[in-house]
Structure 1
Amino acid sequence: MLHNTFYPAEDGNTETIVLLHGFGGNSRIWKYQLPLLSKHYNVLTIDLPSHNEGNLRLSQLEITLDAISREILAVCDHYDIRRAVFMGVSLGTIFVKYIQAFYPEYVDYGILVGAVATVNALLHGFAHLFAKIGDKLPFAAVYHIFSWIIMPGKLNEESRSIFRKCAIALNKKEFKLYMRIFNQAFRFSKVFEKEHHPENIYISGKLDSCFLHRTVREAKSTCGRMIRMAACGHVCNIVQRERFNALMLKILDRAHAVKADDGMIGDLSVSAS
């Protein structure tokens, strides 16, 4: 089973939030959100394959989005979680969307932070190149380059530092396999864009140079809610954690109120800060 941690709600609430981190990271990236969330919600953090020491490796699985998603859901089943809010960041958002598309009974709604949608030719080309020769290059240099592509500039320095420390659990082989997952994710995003998911809330930084433009397009085409945070790059929950936390709690509180009223999460309206 994938490495995971379950935090029971301090107030006894039975609602659950499942947290999925991004590529190269692990559940430590939620450290600024966990104390707030666990006060009123059960929280389940799950480390994706090959992330965190001693975790299940991607090389032990079929290299597909579906295989990883089924491992995520196996953890949910272990805790008898039949339906939950899923919040992902970066690569984690792909699995939130994939589970919505193919295992919708598990997902109440998704909060998609720094969502990965379709990408431009440059980033697609890098993923394709690393999928072929990623295990033949110095791993530290490859991940250094990759993290700069995703999170460029001084603003993202803390995010890059955290992700590079977490990425120690990866190696050349696992990194190369994840490039195959990224390529599948880009293709899947083209399919997901054609679906209707008004229950989803997208939160992206206005300075997310890699994904913002395509994410806005995806949110519009799927009828999701799009929130753009100023002075913020790809990893909003770290770069602007205080503003993100206030926004996150506002979304959860309003969604809870709407659910209690008529069950229509799609009617949720949240203003950008």
Structure 2
Amino acid sequence: MLHHTFIPAEDGNTETIVLLHGFGGNSRIWKYQIPLLSKYYNVLTIDLPSHNEGNLRLSELDVTLDAIAKEILAVCDHYSVRHATFMGVSLGTVFVKYIEAYYPDYVDFGILVGAVATVNSLLRACAGVFSRIGDKLPFAAVYHVFSWIIMPGKRNEESRSIFRKCAVALNKKEFKLYMHIFNQAFRFSKMFELELHPENIYISGKLDTCFLRRTVREAKQTAGRMIQMAACGHVCNIVQKNRFNRLMLELLDRDPADAATAAT
């Protein structure tokens, strides 16, 4: 079973929110949101395969979106979570969308932070190259380059730093396998755009140069709601944590005044 943490709601609420991190990270990416969410919801954080020490590795599974999605849902089933709000960041949003598309009964609605949609030619080319020879290149240099492509510029410095610290749990073999997952994700995103998913709320930074334009298109074509945060890049929940928390509470119909105490 995937590494995970279940935090019961402080107010005794039976609703659950499932949190999925992105590539190279782990559930610490939600450190500014978990204390706030756990006031009102059962919080279930799930680490993707090969992320976090001792976790199930991608090399032990079929290297497919479906295999990972089924492992995520196995954790949900373990806690009898049959219907929940799912919130993902970056690559985690792909699995939220995949579960919506193929296992829709599990998802009430999705909050997609820094969503990965169809991508530009640079990232697609990098994923293609790294999927073939990523295990033959200096590993630190590979994920340094990859993090800069996804999160360029000074405003994303904190996000890149967290990515690099967390990515040490990966190794060359697992990194290379995840490039295959990215290639599948890009193809899946093209199919996802052909469906209507009004249950989705997209939150992206206006400075998310890698994904924003195509995410806006996906939100429009799938009838989702698109929210853009100013002065913010790919990982909005870290770069603009206070504003993000207020927005998140509004979307969840909770008191946004609580956000100030959670993000300090």
Q: TM-score, normalized by length of structure 2?
A: 0.96
For residue 65 of structure 1, report the CA deviation from its aligned partner.
0.1
Q: Could you tell me how far apart the structure 2 residues matched to 1:14 and 1:74 are?
A: 19
For residue 231 of structure 1, report the CA deviation from its aligned partner.
0.2
Q: Could you tell me how far apart the structure 1 residues matched to 2:25 and 2:166 are?
A: 5
Q: Could you tell me how far apart the structure 2 residues matched to 1:233 and 1:4 are?
A: 27
Q: Could you tell me how far apart the structure 1 residues matched to 2:200 and 2:94 are?
A: 13
* Other-structure match for 1:4: 4
Residue pairs, 1:195-234, within 5 angstroms: 195-234=195-234
* Other-structure match for 2:19: 19
* Other-structure match for 2:236: 236
* Other-structure match for 2:63: 63
Once the two structures are superposed, residues 184-216 of structure 1 have per-residue CA deviations (whole angstroms, 9 ceiling, x without a partner) of 000000000011011110000000000000000
Secondary structure of 2:145's aligned partner: helix
The one-letter code matched in structure 2 to 1:216 is V
* Other-structure match for 1:190: 190
For residue 120 of structure 1, report the CA deviation from its aligned partner.
1.3
Whether 2:44 is the aligned partner of 1:41: answer no
* Other-structure match for 2:168: 168
Supply the RMSD in Å over aligned alpha carbons.
0.6
Once the two structures are superposed, residues 162-193 of structure 1 have per-residue CA deviations (whole angstroms, 9 ceiling, x without a partner) of 11101111000000000000000000000000
* Other-structure match for 1:267: none
The one-letter code matched in structure 1 to 2:54 is G
* Other-structure match for 1:143: 143
The one-letter code matched in structure 2 to 1:61 is L
Secondary structure of 2:13's aligned partner: coil
Once the two structures are superposed, residues 71-95 of structure 1 have per-residue CA deviations (whole angstroms, 9 ceiling, x without a partner) of 0000000000000000000000000
* Other-structure match for 2:156: 156
Q: Could you tell me how far apart the structure 1 residues matched to 2:239 and 2:164 are?
A: 15
* Other-structure match for 2:180: 180
* Other-structure match for 1:92: 92
Flag as ranges the 4+ runs of structure 1 deviating above 2 A.
none
Secondary structure of 2:253's aligned partner: helix
Q: Could you tell me how far apart the structure 1 residues matched to 2:166 and 2:195 are?
A: 34
Overall identity of the aligned pairs, in %: 83
Q: Which runs of 5+ in 1 are unaligned?
A: 255-273
Q: Which runs of 5+ in 2 are unaligned?
A: 255-264
Q: Could you tell me how far apart the structure 2 residues matched to 1:11 and 1:110 are?
A: 23
For residue 152 of structure 1, report the CA deviation from its aligned partner.
0.6
Once the two structures are superposed, residues 12-31 of structure 1 have per-residue CA deviations (whole angstroms, 9 ceiling, x without a partner) of 00110000000000000000
Q: Could you tell me how far apart the structure 1 residues matched to 2:125 and 2:252 are?
A: 37
Q: Could you tell me how far apart the structure 2 residues matched to 1:200 and 1:15 are?
A: 18
* Other-structure match for 2:257: none
The one-letter code matched in structure 1 to 2:98 is Y
* Other-structure match for 1:110: 110
Q: Could you tell me how far apart the structure 2 residues matched to 1:53 and 1:113 are?
A: 25
For residue 224 of structure 1, report the CA deviation from its aligned partner.
0.2
Once the two structures are superposed, residues 45-76 of structure 1 have per-residue CA deviations (whole angstroms, 9 ceiling, x without a partner) of 00000000000000000000000000000000
Secondary structure of 2:2's aligned partner: coil
For residue 250 of structure 1, report the CA deviation from its aligned partner.
0.4
The one-letter code matched in structure 2 to 1:109 is F
Secondary structure of 1:169's aligned partner: coil
Q: Could you tell me how far apart the structure 2 residues matched to 1:162 and 1:127 are?
A: 21
Q: TM-score, normalized by length of structure 1?
A: 0.93
Q: Could you tell me how far apart the structure 1 residues matched to 2:145 and 2:139 are?
A: 10
For residue 125 of structure 1, report the CA deviation from its aligned partner.
0.5
Once the two structures are superposed, residues 222-255 of structure 1 have per-residue CA deviations (whole angstroms, 9 ceiling, x without a partner) of 000000000000000000000000000000017x
